[in-house]
Structure 1
Amino acid sequence: MCVFYGHPALVGLSGVAAGLVLSWLLRPWVALRLAAVLGLTVLAGALSVLIAYRFAGDPALPAWWWLAVTGVGLSLIDMTCHRLPHTWVLALATGGLAVFAILAMTEQAGTGLVRALLAALVVFTGGLALFLALPDWMGFGDITTTAALAIYLGWIGWHAVLLGITASMLLLGGLAAQAWTRTPNSRVAAGPSLLLGGWISILTHTTA
């Protein structure tokens, strides 16, 4: 992971490589033409540079980078076919957990790791109850994605979890209301709103 602590250009190159890999991994769900592949590669590289500048010096930078890259993939899949595949959600969760586990051992940040796990459990339990009560409102993939996102928010603190989940629900509710006023009962891709709400909290509760 040392590349993440180098020059932003190196992080940008890692993002370009990640964009190419994403293009290949997305094939079962998203049909990407050459122009789209190039666009995704540029986007991943640009996001990586921004992450490198924004979180310079943050030991958890690899986790934020992983959240950004996998989040792009999840969002594209959800917007294309209204799915949040469990394999992608699992990758989102385990990537963050791996970074936080390493930091817990090397930076004496065990409390943050425990809090991240508890946050995921609490959010998943609450989301599951909501899913069982209102199965037409959110899909199970939305619940697991929110729980995976809670791992990252929980690493920061409970205040970040509260803001992130609240922002995600408000964004999703606003998007759904707008869509339903045009076409009643239309399907809404929840993934982008959930992830954007999480990023609002992360950027609010971390120092530049």
Structure 2
Amino acid sequence: MTAVRPPAVELVSAGLFAVIGLRFGWSPDLPAWVWFAAAGLLLAVIDLRERLLPNRILLPAGIGAAVLLVLAAALDDAWPALLRAVLAAGACFVVLLVMALLAPAGLGMGDVKLAALLGLMLGWLGWPAVLLGLFLGFLLQAVIGLALLAVRRAGRRTELPFGPALLLGSLVAALLSGGWAVG
């Protein structure tokens, strides 16, 4: 007899897609955000379980998001938003790369590559969204780390997955940046 696991990932996926649909509506960039949410959820689950953000998911996630944003730019004549998204992807990549090189024990290269994807998506919304998303990701990671230290579930040298905090911070920033399609 096999154990039946609760459908947590499925329920989170359904809720996440519903919220994204309410935020972006039937806009040309909705497919990119749904793609990003699906890839982000998969990356978060893997990072929580394995402490790894695999290239075999990061690369298709980034390419898919870029293609969908190019399509959105073409449909909505939003070429400045696309340029800003590409610049933000590069900027986020470089910032986290420098941090990873300065403190290799603190950040992995998967986190650096994830930052490029986050920069791409948040850059589409604007520079304030990029800054807010990164800030919230770092803040959330700090709060989680401090909480785990307080309840003695982690020590000062415990490695915590950073991807889920970055992804959640980016999601919150995306939801807070701009108006909602429904509401």
TM-score scaled by structure 2? 0.87
Letter in 2 for 1:104: A
Counterparts of 1:46 and 1:205, CA distance in 2: 19
Equivalent of 2:5, from 21, 30, 35? 35
Return the alpha-carbon distance in structure 1 between the equivalents of residues 130 and 90 of structure 2. Answer: 12
Range with greater deviation from structure 2 (46-55 or 150-159): 46-55
Greater RCO, CA 8 A, separation 6+: 2
Q: Determine helix, strand or coil for the equivalent of 1:206.
A: coil
Query: C-alpha distance in 2, partners of 1:34/1:59?
Result: 39
Match status 1:67 vs 2:40: no
1:13-28 aligned within 5 A: none
CA displacement at 1:152 relative to structure 2: 0.4
Alignment of 1:45-84 (within 5 A): 45-84=14-53
Question: Structure 1: which 5+ residue stretches go unaligned?
Answer: 1-32
- The 5-angstrom pairing of residues 83-94 of structure 1 reads 83-94=52-63
Q: Which amino acid aligns with 1:68?
A: A
TM-superposed CA distance for 1:34, in Å, is: 5.1
Residue 190 (1) aligns with residue 162 (2): yes
Which amino acid counterpart does residue 165 of structure 2 have in structure 1? S
AA in 2 matched with 1:144: K
Q: CA RMSD in A?
A: 1.7
Structure 2: 5+ residue stretches without partners: none
Number of equivalences: 175
Which of 108, 118, 128 does residue 139 from structure 1 map onto? 108
Q: Write the distance in 1 (CA, Å) between the matches of 2:5 and 2:118.
A: 30
Q: Alpha-carbon deviations, 1:112-171, whole Å to 9, x = none?
A: 111111101111111111111111111111111122111000001111111111111111
Q: Given that residues 153 and 161 in structure 1 are in contact (C-alpha distance below 8 angstroms), is that contact kept between their aligned partners in structure 2?
A: yes
Distance of 2:10 and 2:140 partners within structure 1:
27
Residue correspondence of structure 1 range 167-182 to structure 2 within 5 A? 167-181=136-150, 182=152
Deviation at 1:39, TM superposition (A): 4.1
Q: TM-score, normalised by structure 1?
A: 0.77
